[in-house]
């Protein structure tokens, strides 16, 4: 079998099973595990999957630019947002990052809710500017244009001064072994800083981002307290994270 044919087979198998192992692929392709490992390394370099120990998992299929994500999976985001609002109480300090699912939450916050929102997201500031009872603290920093968020050391220093009750973390990818990852290094550094200052980290993720991985590490699975997902994602999350101690909603 030619290398290109092996690549097509691997990607098809990964699409069907959401995970492939060196041992299984070696048997199915009738090649050595060394050859499979080399194939997975090359496919990772091409951005077509994420090689992990013993095999590979997919990248998240979610669009990267904020404007493309804004109207993507809107029904699923609405389900997640409605669950998330039920976790909020008056007096809390809550961090919203730049995810479109976090924006969906901000858009439906009750008018009688009295909380302080800390965010690095321009769209969330715009949504909350007319909310009668929510105080909004904006980090400032350098603009990450594809996400409409502030990043860099100014944003990190700002978050280091916060002690948040809840962090609503928009998820690019989450995997039971690798943890939480994203596609942008500077974004990952900001998210790390927020995790470190938050009492409760709540991951917001539709089904398609579960059991996927990207290049830049944010935090281990142990740092996540709760996963809020859609109905399909709830079944997947309970399957993949059943021994993690994470609450799945």
Map out the domains of the chain as residue ranges: 3-57, 66-248
Q: How far apart are CA 68 and CA 28, in angstroms?
A: 37
CATH T-level topology, domain 66-248: Rossmann fold (3.40.50)
- Distance CA(159)–CA(95), nearest Å, equals 9
Provide the CATH number for the domain formed by 3-57 in this structure. 1.10.10.10
**Cβ neighbours of 180 (radius 10 Å):** 28
Quick: pLDDT tens for 166-221. Answer: 999 998 888 888 889 988 899 999 999 999 999 999 999 988 888 888 888 999 99
Query: Model confidence over 45-74: pLDDT tens digits?
Result: 777 777 777 778 776 666 555 555 556 567
Rounded CA separation 77/209 (Å)? 13
**pLDDT band at residue 110 using 50, 70 and 90 as cut-offs:** very high
């Amino acid at each position: 079998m030619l290398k290109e044919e092996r690549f097509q087979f691997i990607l098809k198998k990964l699409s069907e099973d959401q995970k492939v192992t060196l041992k299984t692929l070696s048997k199915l392709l009738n090649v050595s595990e060394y050859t499979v490992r080399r194939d997975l390394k090359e496919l990772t370099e091409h951005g077509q999957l994420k090689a992990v120990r013993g095999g590979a998992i997919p990248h998240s299929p979610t669009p990267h630019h904020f404007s493309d994500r804004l109207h993507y999976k809107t029904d699923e985001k609405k389900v997640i947002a409605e669950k998330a609002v039920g976790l909020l109480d008056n007096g809390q300090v809550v961090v919203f990052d730049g995810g479109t699912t976090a924006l969906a939450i901000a858009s439906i916050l009750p008018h009688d809710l009295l909380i302080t929102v800390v965010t690095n997201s321009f769209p969330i500031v715009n949504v909350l500017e007319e909310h009668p009872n929510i105080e909004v603290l904006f980090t400032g920093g350098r603009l990450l244009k594809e996400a409409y968020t502030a990043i860099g050391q100014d944003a990190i220093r700002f978050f280091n001064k916060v002690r948040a009750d809840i962090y609503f973390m928009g998820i690019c990818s989450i995997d039971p072994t690798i943890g939480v990852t994203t596609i942008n290094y500077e974004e990952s550094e900001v998210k790390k800083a927020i995790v470190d200052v938050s009492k409760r980290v709540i991951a917001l993720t539709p089904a398609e981002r579960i059991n996927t991985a990207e290049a830049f590490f944010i935090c281990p699975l142990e740092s996540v307290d709760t996963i809020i997902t859609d109905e399909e994602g709830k079944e997947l999350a309970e399957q993949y994270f059943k021994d993690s101690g994470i609450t799945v909603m």
